[in-house]
Amino acid sequence: MAKSSARKQREKWAREGKRNPELNRSIFAFADMKQRVTKTKTEKLHQNKHKRSLSYHRDDDLFYLFRSAS
């Protein structure tokens, strides 16, 4: 690939002993600054993965006691 004119200028300044402008860049210049948006449908579905389902509690719903007439 060809060098851009800005890159050529930076290299020229570095050869002349001047400060390279690349060194002035922030540490966040190359960081991934994307922000997450709302959850996708699959993320919503898997959100309750480790919670117990309703069928787990159905055993305690109703008790019926039969009393014999003796």
Task: Please give the model's pTM, rounded to 2 decimal places.
Answer: 0.37
pLDDT band at 45 (very low <50, low <70, confident <90, very high): confident
Dihedral angle over CA of 50, 51, 56, 57, nearest 10: 160
Q: What is the pLDDT of residue 15?
A: 92
pLDDT band at 16 (very low <50, low <70, confident <90, very high): very high
Q: What is the pLDDT of residue 19?
A: 87
pLDDT band at 36 (very low <50, low <70, confident <90, very high): confident
Mean pLDDT for the stretch of residues 54-59: 56
Residue reference for tokens 């008790």: 63
